[in-house]
Structure 1
């Protein structure tokens, strides 16, 4: 029994050893294959020349002059952007627009401005009714004062006529007394009547002055009441939030029930006018810029470029970043929304470099190479270091000389 168990144990150890040896062998073979041990080796040395195929086009390596371009980054902004806010303190009762909605402003000749929101107007309506009632009361008081002034003036005219008659009678009785045709009692009576009418006239004139002063006071009250009505109506109009100009609502910053106050933004509105690219340009590049200069603005998110014209150079440099803000006008396009990333290419002189057709460049892994035509007409592979690509050409920084010919398929 013990012998059988020992035999079984030896067989088990043998099998495990055999499995481990097989796994090691497979691993060694796999590593040798990955290292290229089963492939035909290429002996060190220069590349073997290859005869060019018939009809293959050759292109000489040329030296070209290109502008030195420095790219500055910027952000697309609307030329006109407004934070719409309330002029009064009131609760938001109704919101009539959503983010992304187009609105019509007062700048449109046809059509009324879009109502964006309404505020609670209960208190202002009460104030308006009170002001209108006061104005009506002042209007009635003015009618009374005007009638009183008219009556006082009529009284003055009547008393003045009586005074003239009294003066005439006194003069006549005085002359008759000198001729002994009238008694002294008659003359004294005429004098008393003259003095009475004179006093009555002065009293009537004072009454006119009092009535005129009362009318002036009522007129002042009427002007004050009219101003109160106009103010209440203006305040009532302020409860309606209208679009200041035509554009698009890009942000809503208030909800129904919120309390609006002066200076608190309710909506962010973007105009329909042409957008701009706002870029921070390094101070050293500013001398190479001038207003009216044309650029090709690259918008990475849209994978395309837009023509732009430099419209403004802000005459102020940031002391921290040493940059100056410039604004480039872009054509109207619905795709150019606020916040897009853009590139502004600025040319600062020129430089010379060797170029070959971009089609002549081939790749081997991560390495670039071209096929150079030798003096014997055969082509040899030569690795090169490339620069920028532009206008169907690619810059060659190292690996080629001017005048050499490359195969350009």
Structure 2
């Protein structure tokens, strides 16, 4: 009887344990985390469906990178970045001691060739006079003529060597090719300059242009002379532009066509290297595929490695992470190529760190 009672007690304990576990598993899980306060915005397309907006870079319409054809150390830089310069002004000097030694050798060769030429000329004139008087043979006159011609040729060769050395000196003294400003100084005093090595960048600040890339879907509608609007967000200014050049090939520009746009009414606030947004007029071709130009602020996007996403708001008022395919960056906004539709709600900012499924309180 005692053994049976123990078995009965054990069986009863197991049954109670099973029922206890079942009761606990059926208890609903309650999310006790507090809602996260967020601010939201709705997706809206910028511009109309027949317009095209691309990003570009501003550059001077007249610029030059100056270099040298000789090797030598930079002796002196006569200007600073931002200085106004005039055509022909000395900007930079490269050490030219080797050229000076070569010029001294050339000058000595010219003196020697000049003396030989003068002596040969006198002999030639004397023998020619004797030949005219029948006092010298034809052979003697021919020999003197050949000697005179060789002396003359040696003198000309020495003078040409001098011209070559003088031309090399022009590359040791770098001068301004036009009126403008010094945009960048690429070397310092003591730097060893090599042939073709960039030394200075100069540009004319009076005229600027925008270089942009146009997708092939609309390139047939972009014509030279077309007027466009140019927005420079860094200085909060809009300018009128005119298409100056349109590339006929995209082989070296990633499948897009380089287009140069002249800024007609530029101001002193424009600087080379600034980013600009170029808005083209309405595209009328039925074959053109115009981007929707859905734009969102950069601050609303998140990045994880090479992925770009944004948090949207679900019907249950929770955060949902949506991965996107992005396009050009125009000012403080980024073009969304896919992943968002017009009218959808996305989260601009939050008071706490967001995560997928987080409960939201929209402010």
How would you bin the TM-score normalised by the shorter chain? Answer: 0.5 to 0.7
3-state secondary structure, aligned to 2:188: coil
Separation in 1, partners of 2:109, 2:203: 43
1:208 counterpart residue number: 141
Separation in 2, partners of 1:126, 1:325: 49
Separation in 1, partners of 2:128, 2:251: 76
2:283 counterpart residue number: 348
3-state secondary structure, aligned to 1:220: helix
Separation in 2, partners of 1:321, 1:213: 65
Separation in 1, partners of 2:244, 2:65: 24
Separation in 1, partners of 2:62, 2:244: 14
Equivalences for residues 262-341 of structure 1 within 5 A? 262-317=195-250, 321-331=254-264, 332-341=266-275
Equivalences for residues 10-409 of structure 1 within 5 A? 68-105=50-87, 113-158=88-133, 160=134, 204-317=137-250, 321-331=254-264, 332-346=266-280, 347-349=282-284
Bigger Cα displacement from structure 2, 317-326 vs 77-86? 317-326
> Which has the greater radius of gyration?
1
1:175-230 deviation digits (Å, cap 9, x = unpaired): xxxxxxxxxxxxxxxxxxxxxxxxxx5x5322211111110110110111111111
Cα gap change, 1:297 to 1:148, in 2 (>3 Å)? same
Bigger Cα displacement from structure 2, 126-135 vs 220-229? 126-135
3-state secondary structure, aligned to 1:348: coil
Cα gap change, 1:237 to 1:327, in 2 (>3 Å)? closer
Separation in 1, partners of 2:118, 2:244: 63
- Give the C-alpha shift of residue 137 in structure 1: 1.7
Separation in 2, partners of 1:337, 1:266: 21
- Give the C-alpha shift of residue 126 in structure 1: 2.0
Cα gap change, 1:326 to 1:246, in 2 (>3 Å)? same
**TM-score, scaled to structure 2:** 0.61
Bigger Cα displacement from structure 2, 135-144 vs 67-76? 67-76
- Give the C-alpha shift of residue 317 in structure 1: 2.3
Cα gap change, 1:318 to 1:131, in 2 (>3 Å)? closer
Separation in 1, partners of 2:79, 2:220: 46
Separation in 2, partners of 1:155, 1:279: 80
Separation in 1, partners of 2:226, 2:127: 80
- Give the C-alpha shift of residue 75 in structure 1: 1.0
Cα gap change, 1:157 to 1:295, in 2 (>3 Å)? closer
More helix by share: 1
1:353-375 deviation digits (Å, cap 9, x = unpaired): xxxxxxxxxxxxxxxxxxxxxxx
**Structure 1 residue runs without a partner (length 5+):** 1-30, 32-64, 106-112, 161-200, 351-396, 399-409
Separation in 2, partners of 1:116, 1:98: 9
- Give the C-alpha shift of residue 237 in structure 1: 2.5
Separation in 2, partners of 1:303, 1:75: 15
Separation in 2, partners of 1:256, 1:269: 18
1:183 counterpart residue number: none
Cα gap change, 1:137 to 1:322, in 2 (>3 Å)? closer
Separation in 2, partners of 1:273, 1:132: 45
Cα gap change, 1:277 to 1:149, in 2 (>3 Å)? same
Separation in 2, partners of 1:294, 1:284: 19
Asked whether the equivalents of residues 67 and 349 of structure 1 are also in contact (C-alpha less than 8 Å), the reply is no
Separation in 2, partners of 1:143, 1:134: 14
1:5-29 deviation digits (Å, cap 9, x = unpaired): xxxxxxxxxxxxxxxxxxxxxxxxx
Bigger Cα displacement from structure 2, 118-127 vs 86-95? 118-127
Asked whether the equivalents of residues 299 and 343 of structure 1 are also in contact (C-alpha less than 8 Å), the reply is yes
RMSD: 2.6
